[in-house]
Amino acid sequence: MTKLFGTDGIRGVANIEPMTTETALRVGRAAGYIFLRDDRRHRVLIGKDTRLSGYMLESALVAGICSMGVDVLVVGPLPTPGVAYILRSLRADAGIMISASHNPYEDNGIKFFSPGGFKLADDVEREMERLLSSGEIDSIRPTAGHVGKAFRIDDAVGRYIEFVKATFPKGMTLEGVKVVADCANGALYKVAPRVLEELGATVIPMAVEPNGENINADCGSQCPERMMEKTREVGADLGLSFDGDGDRVVMSDAKGQLVDGDCQMAISGLDLATSGDLAENTVVATVMSNVGLDVALEEANVAVERTPVGDRYVVERMLDGGFNLGGEKSGHIVFLDHNTTGDGMIAALQLLAIMSRRDTELAELAKCFQPFPQILVNVRTAKRQDPESLQGFKEKVAKLEKVLGPHGRIVVRASGTEPMIRIMAEGRDEDKTKQVVDELAEHVRAEIGEDG
């Protein structure tokens, strides 16, 4: 069997391998086996977003898990961070989220959570793949009263709403605040408007009519332009665009200017540092976060630690270092004091709390972050190859980083899914930054060859 798990679970086009009912059933069986720890009755919680294909994948996973003698708790449409919370609340042995996040509706995915609400470790995913390929569990077939049962949890959305509201400061309300909330026709379509309204805000909802096929379609965090325009048009205090499974959010200030994940981390990091609540005075970001984040935070003596791309790696580093704030430029913001994974609703409420506490508009808060010009070029190559293995490449990168000057940096990485080298550079001078990227791209083409 080929490798199933990517950076964030299993993902692909629904009804084409690996996202078929046949594979989902076998994945469910492997998951049921892995999370069996003793003779007691075990339970796995399953949530999903609003994709049409979620129905068939949910049924297949339920069948596979029950066939191993494990019970299933089905919560229906619920944001990914809601699954992480509810599984902890119900003391389940694991959680599964059926979602392809910000991808179009044709895709779908399967993400796993440990009992503590964290993404599965690499070694657990490798063990699951081994079980699927070895056939080791094919003969395990509980019968009679030993097969699992499935239960529907009807109040999961309400539980999550109350949990999220509890992260907003006591005694503070959103009375007089107008918010545009673009829910991407996804898992937050019920949650976001209710949370904001129950806290006192006036809400202008967008993309809250999912039909199974319109999730992330010209809306949500990948397409925030309509939300930004609407925010300016209706005179809202800010706008929010979530992705399909609700674990990320990008924002707009009252003028319709985008506030991405890097800017959110800068604002929240400085606020937490000022109050003394930023653990180890450190923010965790990925290699793709703009170096402007480092500059914004270093003035307050806040360090930035970087990880590979993927919110799971951000969380792993946060746990290892005892940090409580991290995230990605894309809008995955993790407040470990509140939840175990990226949570778009919680991230939005933390920014709203800062605005309220300081009686300051988002545009004013956002001035703390000035992104450096960033140039990204994807070089499709004739074959897959680690760029660091190219002759003279490391030396060339080191030389060109000096050209970019202080705080300038270069990130080069091979795509994990296709023969492509991604070259990103940042520097204060945009022309120099572009020259650096072009020179590195030419080096890659000369050494590996370009596809097409």
Q: Are residues 245 and 201 in the same domain?
A: yes
Q: Are residues 300 and 168 in the same domain?
A: no
Given a contact cutoff of 8 angstroms between Cβ atoms, the answer to whether 44 and 92 are in contact is: yes
User: Where does the pLDDT of residue 341 fall: very low under 50, low under 70, confident under 90, or very high at 90 and above?
Assistant: very high
Of 405 and 195, which is predicted with more confidence?
195
pLDDT at 446: 86
Place of tokens 């309400």: 158
Given a contact cutoff of 8 angstroms between Cβ atoms, the answer to whether 267 and 244 are in contact is: no
CATH number at residue 386: 3.30.310.50
Q: Are residues 29 and 14 in the same domain?
A: yes
Kindly write down the DSSP assignment for every residue of 302-329, as one continuous string.
Answer: -EEEEESSSHHHHHHHHHHHT--EEE-T
Marked catalytic residue, from 53, 67, 101, 241: 101
Find the domain containing 191 and state its range. Answer: 159-255
Given a contact cutoff of 8 angstroms between Cβ atoms, the answer to whether 108 and 54 are in contact is: yes
Q: Are residues 272 and 227 in the same domain?
A: no
Task: With a cut of 60, say whether residue 187 has pLDDT above it.
Answer: yes
Task: With a cut of 60, say whether residue 1 has pLDDT above it.
Answer: no
Q: Half-sphere exposure of 157 toward its Cβ, with a 13 Å CA cutoff?
A: 16
Q: Are residues 135 and 165 in the same domain?
A: no
* Rounded Cα–Cα distance for residues 164 and 184 (Å): 19
Q: Are residues 275 and 335 in the same domain?
A: yes
* Rounded Cα–Cα distance for residues 40 and 55 (Å): 29
Do the domain assignments include residue 78?
yes
User: Where does the pLDDT of residue 452 fall: very low under 50, low under 70, confident under 90, or very high at 90 and above?
Assistant: low
Q: Is 81 helix (H, G, I), strand (E, B) or coil?
A: helix
* Rounded Cα–Cα distance for residues 225 and 208 (Å): 17
Mean pLDDT of 52-59: 98
Kindly write down the DSSP assignment for every residue of 92-141, as one continuous string.
Answer: -SEEEEE--TTS-TTEEEEEEE-TTSPBPPHHHHHHHHHHHHH-TTTT--
User: Residues of the chain with pLDDT > 70: what percent?
Assistant: 99
Q: List pLDDT tens digits, range 242-253.
A: 999 999 999 999
Q: Are residues 332 and 280 in the same domain?
A: yes
CATH number at residue 51: 3.40.120.10
Task: With a cut of 80, say whether residue 38 has pLDDT above it.
Answer: no
* Residue 101 annotated among the catalytic residues of the structure: yes
Kindly write down the DSSP assignment for every residue of 227-289, as one continuous string.
Answer: HHHHHHHHT-SEEEEE-TTSS-EEEEETTS-EE-HHHHHHHHHHHHHHHT-SGGGEEEEETTS
Q: Are residues 19 and 146 in the same domain?
A: yes
Q: Are residues 21 and 144 in the same domain?
A: yes
How many structural domains is the chain composed of?
4
* Rounded Cα–Cα distance for residues 149 and 115 (Å): 19
Q: Is the pTM above the cut of 0.85?
A: yes
Do the domain assignments include residue 2?
no
> Residue 155 gets which letter from DSSP?
T
Q: Are residues 34 and 129 in the same domain?
A: yes
Do the domain assignments include residue 1?
no
Q: List pLDDT tens digits, range 239-285.
A: 999 999 999 999 999 999 999 999 999 999 999 999 999 999 999 99
Of 237, 255, 273, which residue is a domain's last? 255
Q: Is 68 helix (H, G, I), strand (E, B) or coil?
A: coil
The C-alpha angle 315, 320, 324, rounded to 5 degrees, equals: 55
Q: Are residues 31 and 145 in the same domain?
A: yes
Q: Are residues 335 and 400 in the same domain?
A: no
Backbone torsion region of residue 280, taken as left when φ is above 0, otherwise alpha when ψ lies between -120 and 50, otherwise beta? left
